[in-house]
Structure 1
Amino acid sequence: MPKRILEKTALEVSRLREEGAHAVGGVTGLYLQIIGGSRSWVYRYTHHRARKRMGLGSYPAVGLAAARDAARAALTLRNSGADPLQVRAAEREAARLAASYQMPFEQAAEKFIKEHESTWRNLKHVNQWRSTLATYAFPVIGHLNVADIEQAHVLRVLSPIWKTKTETATRVRGRIEQILDWSTVHGHRGGPNPAKWKGLLEHVLANPNKVAPVQHHPAVPYAALPDFYQRLCSVKGQSARALQMLILTSTRSGELRGMRWGELDLSAGLWLVPAERMKSKRLHRVPLPAQALAMLSQLKPGEPDDLVFVSNRGGMLSDMSLTAVMRRHYPEAVPHGFRSTFRDWAGECTHHPRDAIELCLAHAIDTKTEAAYRRGDMLEKRTVIMQEWADYAAPGHLILAGQQQE
């Protein structure tokens, strides 16, 4: 029978100074080892007939009671047939791997943006992502590991702005959801996505469409459009001309401001807007009514890559330059609102097919017709619609007073 070691007290252990291994009792195999001025805990045991030593920490950083607890845990492992040293090594490796997969939300967001920014429409969209996350998400969850983010954290981001900045809040929620999905795919978290709307947050947060119904861009009523267009004719400057063309083509501001001479086929009466400038990322053929062709004929043609409407500094007109013209002559509306004006006029004053009207605006339509659109874009029907629209908006304005080269 092995000799039983009397349990030393904490005071007795603190007085040990002689070099060597001192059994302290309480757990068979626990020793305080003293070498020079260094004192540390060692647990000695045998596993598969091999003698082993397991360090349990330095003394007095690890006290007597803590050393005995650690030795008892190791003894339990050995008695179960496991090697305490191997178990500890496996635990440390698992912890190391877990730490390597940990990633703060802010870091995950930046990686997500860098992976996807090349597929987004423009730099403005990238900046919006970074700005909204930096303003609303990062102060709350930016420092948290994505694996630790739960629904309560997401709600702490969204709840303060859900009713006051509803549109922004819904975008932030969607962006958090995408980043957490990315994190799951890359192994940085598991389980359901706490930012998911359907089946989760929809039961906690109010319906955003009821909190803040979609606000359409303020538009000039179609009944007032001919008078506004007439006044616009007398306004000098490229911004006014671009605004007239925006009305005649019912395109978006960015598409129109980026119009280049090489995109125009004046003999065919067409403007080919390249896919990269379209919201749908698909080439869009815009039929040019006679009024638009007359306006273009008054401008000095440039090289294929030259802009049609040029700012005073020689570059592309800014969106604000068109807005400034609106503010001076019709402050209740914005340039993008002319698309709504066209839609209202076409729906209430004509009998043209809805699908053709939507295609004039380059809108996505239902699946069945979408398939037909890919085979043909109803150009003939749209040509008729756009000429009727131009005749309504600008009757008799084939040569306009404000169009002379400036």
Structure 2
Amino acid sequence: MGGKGRHPEKALTTVQVRALKTPGRYADGHGLYLVVDPSGAKRWLLRIVVQGKRRDIGLGGASLVTLAEAREKALAYRKTARDGGDPLAERRRAQATAPTFAEAAETVHADHKATWKNAKHAAQWINTLRTYANPYFGSKPVDQIQTPDVLRALAPIWLTKGETATRVRQRIGTVLDWAKAAGHRSGDNPVEGVTRGLPKQGEREEHHTALPFAEVPAFVARLRAMSGQGEIGRLAFEFLILTAARTSEVLDARWGEIDEVQALWTVPAARMKAGREHRVPLSARACEVLSAAKALGGGSALIFPGRSGSKPLSNMVFLMALRRMSVPITAHGFRSSFRDWAAEATNLPREVAEMALAHTIENRVEAAYRRGDLLAKRREMMEQWSTFVVTKPRGGKPQDASN
């Protein structure tokens, strides 16, 4: 019965498996063989056709895998092959070690890093997971993470740090979605049902604290008159107010984005929240601010450079100015002030102000019909806003840009 002898009509027995010592291949039937090596070691081999090709699949040593277990494995692999699958590929996937959550999070972070608009957001994304998720299940393989694990991580911050907790939940979900797509886990994402075990969060204030628009002229007059505040910082703040732009858009602005002839600032898509290029018509006053900034910039490519000239001003510059002025608002809130002014003090259509703020048009039908950016009307609006902003406030007078 040694050598290449085949005995399909007579299957092997457990006693024979133990007794066989002559090197060779011994058939058990249906493509399953016991192979005895010259060294005396014994192993199981399954010969089947996989997707049209003959394949030999090792099933393990006979000292560890019994005859019954070898037959069971062989049957499962034959069924997979008969259904058109690849038993070897499935076995490789099953044997692959699933990464831990911490490892998976780092992988997802690295894969998505290039798509984020700035390094600060990229750092925040991974740091929140390192701080709030990893201590609870960072060392756990992604295929073993369940809803109770996510619940334990979110519960301590769900009510005290609501916005952060919501972001952490979303980011955990992103990592586990990736794990499923990569073949490391199956079934539903544990994040989907986690809120059922968490208390209802209170209403969060979604709007940035804003100054009533009627008080903006007085604020700008005070801003220009401030002492102890860098002049380039004051100019940047006034430019932010005059253009109704976001903080990052102003601080990272470059001279290459300015068309002085057309009095136009074109913010590239990569720096816009909505990911679309945004054109900002510049009022006469905004152009004066730019001229003053150029005189102070020392030839930097940045319009509002920091001390080194190669990096922009810190994003704390506006916050520090507001603190010195003891005004409990945010720089971003001036966009709300602008929006309120446009609604209450002008007759211009709502969509003109929305486009000035670079807001996304949620109504698909409206968005499809409005293909232009209403630049001419927005230029009129921004000139009106500038005139309003530099209007002589009660008890004072507007000051020159260089003051």
* Normalised-by-shorter TM-score class: 0.7 to 0.9
Distance in 1 (alpha carbons) for counterparts of 2:90 and 2:214: 71
Q: Corresponding residue for 2:247?
A: 253
Deviation for aligned residue 1:177: 0.9
| 1:19-168 paired onto structure 2 within 5 Å | 47=28, 74=67, 97-168=93-164
Distance in 1 (alpha carbons) for counterparts of 2:251 and 2:304: 7
Q: Corresponding residue for 1:63?
A: none
Instruction: Say whether the 8 Å CA contact 2:93–2:183 is kept in structure 1.
Output: no
Deviation for aligned residue 1:104: 1.1
Cα 1:99–1:385, aligned 2, differ >3 Å: closer, same or farther? same
SS at match of 1:271: strand
Identity value in percent: 39
Amino acid aligned to 2:180: T
Instruction: Say whether the 8 Å CA contact 1:238–1:309 is kept in structure 2.
Output: yes
Deviation for aligned residue 1:339: 0.8
Farther-moved stretch of structure 1 (102-111 vs 309-318): 309-318
| 1:233-244 paired onto structure 2 within 5 Å | 233-235=224-226, 237-244=231-238
SS at match of 1:392: helix
Could you tell me which of 238, 258, 265 is aligned with 2:259?
265
1:389 aligned onto 2:372: no
Could you tell me which of 294, 306, 312 is aligned with 2:307?
312
Instruction: Say whether the 8 Å CA contact 1:275–1:281 is kept in structure 2.
Output: yes
Distance in 2 (alpha carbons) for counterparts of 1:285 and 1:174: 32
Deviations, residues 219-265 of structure 1 (Å, cap 9, x unaligned): 22212211111111212511111111111111011111122222222
Deviation for aligned residue 1:75: 5.3
1:205 aligned onto 2:198: yes
Deviations, residues 50-79 of structure 1 (Å, cap 9, x unaligned): 8777879xxxxxxxxxxxxx89x645876x
Instruction: Say whether the 8 Å CA contact 1:299–1:403 is kept in structure 2.
Output: no
Deviation for aligned residue 1:297: 3.4
Instruction: Say whether the 8 Å CA contact 1:295–1:400 is kept in structure 2.
Output: no
Give 1 or 2 for the bigger CA radius of gyration: 1
Instruction: Say whether the 8 Å CA contact 1:234–1:402 is kept in structure 2.
Output: no
Cα 1:75–1:113, aligned 2, differ >3 Å: closer, same or farther? closer
Amino acid aligned to 2:288: A
1:321 aligned onto 2:312: no
Cα 1:327–1:95, aligned 2, differ >3 Å: closer, same or farther? same
Deviation for aligned residue 1:324: 0.9
| 1:252-401 paired onto structure 2 within 5 Å | 252-300=246-294, 306-314=301-309, 315-365=311-361, 366-373=363-370, 375-395=371-391, 401=399
Farther-moved stretch of structure 1 (177-186 vs 287-296): 287-296
TM (normalized to structure 2)?
0.75
Amino acid aligned to 2:220: Y
SS at match of 2:221: helix
Deviations, residues 337-395 of structure 1 (Å, cap 9, x unaligned): 1111112222233332222111111111122232344x210112211221221222212
Deviation for aligned residue 1:91: 11
Deviation for aligned residue 1:98: 2.0
Q: Which runs of 5+ in 2 are unaligned?
A: 1-13, 20-25, 44-63, 79-85
Could you tell me which of 196, 213, 232 is aligned with 2:223?
232
Q: Corresponding residue for 1:7?
A: none
Deviation for aligned residue 1:160: 1.7
Distance in 1 (alpha carbons) for counterparts of 2:278 and 2:149: 43
Amino acid aligned to 2:198: L
Distance in 2 (alpha carbons) for counterparts of 1:256 and 1:51: 74
Q: Corresponding residue for 1:11?
A: none
SS at match of 1:306: coil
TM (normalized to structure 1)?
0.74
Deviation for aligned residue 1:404: 2.1
Instruction: Say whether the 8 Å CA contact 2:243–2:382 is kept in structure 1.
Output: yes
Distance in 1 (alpha carbons) for counterparts of 2:74 and 2:313: 75
Distance in 1 (alpha carbons) for counterparts of 2:35 and 2:277: 74
Instruction: Say whether the 8 Å CA contact 2:221–2:399 is kept in structure 1.
Output: no
SS at match of 1:331: coil
Cα 1:225–1:108, aligned 2, differ >3 Å: closer, same or farther? same
SS at match of 2:210: coil
Instruction: Say whether the 8 Å CA contact 2:35–2:42 is kept in structure 1.
Output: no
Instruction: Say whether the 8 Å CA contact 1:251–1:339 is kept in structure 2.
Output: yes
Q: Corresponding residue for 2:60?
A: none
Instruction: Say whether the 8 Å CA contact 1:235–1:402 is kept in structure 2.
Output: no
SS at match of 2:280: strand
Distance in 2 (alpha carbons) for counterparts of 1:245 and 1:388: 15
Q: Which runs of 5+ in 1 are unaligned?
A: 1-26, 33-44, 57-69
Deviation for aligned residue 1:149: 1.3
SS at match of 1:286: strand
Cα 1:300–1:131, aligned 2, differ >3 Å: closer, same or farther? closer
Distance in 2 (alpha carbons) for counterparts of 1:183 and 1:81: 27
Deviation for aligned residue 1:319: 1.1
